[in-house]
Amino acid sequence: MQKIVVLPDLVVDQIAAGEVLENPASAVKELIENSIDAGATEIRVEIEGGGLQRIQIEDNGSGMNREDLALCLKRHATSKIRSAEDLGRLVTMGFRGEALAALAAVSKIELKTSNGKEGSYLAAQGSQSEQITPRPRNRGTTIEARDLFFNTPARLKFQKSAAACAAAVLKTVQTISLAHPEIAFRLLSNGKLTFDVKLSEWKKRAEEVLGPFAHEIAAPSVRGLLGRPEEGKANRSGQVLFVNQRPVFSPWIAKAVKTGFGTRMREELFPVFLLFLEVAPDAVDVNVHPQKKEVRFRDEGKIYALVQNAVIGAFQQSAPALPPVPWDFTPMPTTPFILREQPTPSIEERLPMEPCGRPLVQLGDFLLVEEEGWQLIDLKGASARLLFEEIEAPQAAVQPLIWPLEIDLQESSEEVSELLKAAKIESHPLGPKRLAIDALPSGLEPAQVSAFLQEFQGGKRDRRLAAVVTRTCRASTRAYSFEEACLIWRKLQNCEDKQYDPLGRTLAVSLTKEALKEMFR
């Protein structure tokens, strides 16, 4: 009996799709890159069900004629390269001609496109295309993909929740927008506008998406922004790197940035940065990863030194800056009022009063606020309240991890994985008693996961989440910066219950002049 067979085209396409398209976010990334290569200045993204139910990308790019539309869904059909030699001088985002073919293999896809002269429409399902028909449209392309992975149940089974997928799509769109301030981006999730940026210059776009930074890198071939050393994170979630406008991941370049920080940052922390590296196309290989997430440089030592020296120069040239609030992937609030021994009027004018009071000074894990007298805020208790309400929210914000956290267990990994869904922690088993954590609720740091997991497994079901969140936050040895303390206090004002932690302990103690006088009699 014959053992070796040639796989059908559909199976080949589905295998290729597994390499190119991991999840809805990777599909959105590939489609946006096509729009960028088409010269679009406006890109609109719509998703439903985190992108698993529906993804639609609409642009005002160059569009396609009828002949190009007939070829665009075929494997390795591309307008970007003509020979293997072209791979050494790539200047476009996409080039292999795999994305559309892969998407068509695992979804129900519709394309409407116009080159400004003629409009055309094409539908396909599982790589089976219908006939192309005329369809009026302005110049540009609209691609809609429904029921992602409908014919690959094994792939669909391992997709995260709709909320986690939507969060990953948002992060993808935000990240790409950083490298293209000349393009307006808009993202709607289940009909709700979640991201909207207009055309701007790169530093303004960075502040819109990431919030303020303290230092600017301006060196040949390298530009970017750096967070303050004390704002370093316990993981690499605050690091964004672009090589020739392509978002990539490189622990090696991240190490060069960390080396540039020198002794300014604690050894166990990772610096926060936004970095744009421009190199000659033939000096970098972008074809080493199926999803183009990694790159390889021809002269790694030269690039390492270039980045390190650029960071050192940024600290040497930067003037003292107002302390920004902690870095995140959402616009940050206004910098808090800071009481100084010799206040400078021009600085005080730039730091507006808070509507419900103002922070005065941090006392360890407590913040003194001037508000109808004085209030002493318990920062650890407030952190527990914030995390608890975030997890309890119907649409809890979930932060995907760049690298999953792998944890050994005493119990069944499948049972623990199901149990953790109540805490909005996305995970999947790696073995009978080994678990990978994929995404965490906003506010839960990766460094807290181990303690959180131990408490969550052993806690009683009655008020288990409240008890675990409170114990985890109060047991943390993390030292808050003044900016973090102010941010916690401001976020607390929007909580449903801003007076007590999840277990009912008070979060603030009032201090009056009369009470202080009484203490010293």
Q: Write out pLDDT tens, residues 39-70.
A: 999 999 999 999 999 999 999 999 999 988 88
Residue 414 Cα distances to 97, 219, 428, 465, angstroms: 38, 50, 7, 19
Tell me if the domain spanning 333-397+442-521 has CATH number 1.10.357.10. Answer: no
442 pLDDT exceeds 80? no
Which two tokens mark 432? 């009978």
Whether 116 and 110 have beta carbons less than 8 Å apart is answered as: no
pLDDT at 225: 95
3 state DSSP class of 500? strand
User: Which value, to the nearest 10 degrees, does the dihedral of the CA atoms of residues 376, 379, 383, 384 take?
Assistant: -80
Q: To which residue do tokens 């978002």 refer?
A: 247
Output 10 or 133, whichever has higher pLDDT: 133
In the sheet that 434-441 helps form, which strands lie side by side, from edge to edge?
Answer: 398-408, 434-441, 426-431
Type and span of the H or E element at 476: none
CB 277 within 8 A of CB 222: yes
The helix/strand/coil state of 104 is helix
Rounded Cα–Cα distance for residues 59 and 185 (Å): 10
pLDDT in tens, 254-268: 999 999 988 777 778
Confidence at 351, pLDDT banded by 50, 70, 90: very low
User: What are the structural domain ranges in the chain?
Assistant: 9-197, 202-317, 333-397+442-521
Neighbours of 359 (CB within 10 A): 24
pLDDT at 77 over 60: no
- Angle at which helices 449-458 and 464-475 cross, to 10°: 150
Residue by residue, DSSP assigns 258-289 as HHHHGGGS-TT-B--EEEEE---GGGEE--SS
With the CA atoms of 247, 248, 251 and 252 taken in that order, what torsion angle do they form, in degrees rounded to the nearest 10? -100
User: 9-197 adopts what CATH topology?
Assistant: Heat Shock Protein 90 (3.30.565)
The answer to whether the beta carbons of residues 51 and 24 sit under 8 Å apart is yes
Tell me the two tokens of residue 403. Answer: 């690298």
Residue 301 is encoded by which pair of tokens?
Answer: 């030592």
Name the nearest CA neighbour of 37 among 112, 88, 90, 73: 90
Mean pLDDT of 213-229: 90
Identify the bridge partners of residue 42 per DSSP, sorted by sequence position.
Answer: 184
Q: Look at residue 101 in the predicted model and tell me its pLDDT.
A: 84
The sign of the torsion formed by the CA atoms of 115, 116, 119, 124 equals: positive
**Within a 10 A sphere around the Cβ of 475, how many other Cβ atoms?**
12
pLDDT tens digits, 459-506: 554 467 888 888 888 888 888 888 889 989 888 888 888 888 888 788
The CATH number of the structural domain formed by 202-317 is: 3.30.230.10
Give residue-wise pLDDT tens across range 366-424. Answer: 999 987 778 899 999 999 999 888 888 877 777 777 777 888 887 888 888 888 888 88
Model confidence at 27, in pLDDT bands (50, 70, 90)? very high
pLDDT value at residue 195: 95
User: How far is the C-alpha of 374 from the C-alpha of 358, rounded, in Å?
Assistant: 10
Radius of gyration of the chain (CA): 26
Helix or strand (DSSP H, E) at 143: strand 140-146
Q: Can you give the pLDDT at residue 512?
A: 80
Q: What is the pLDDT of residue 285?
A: 65
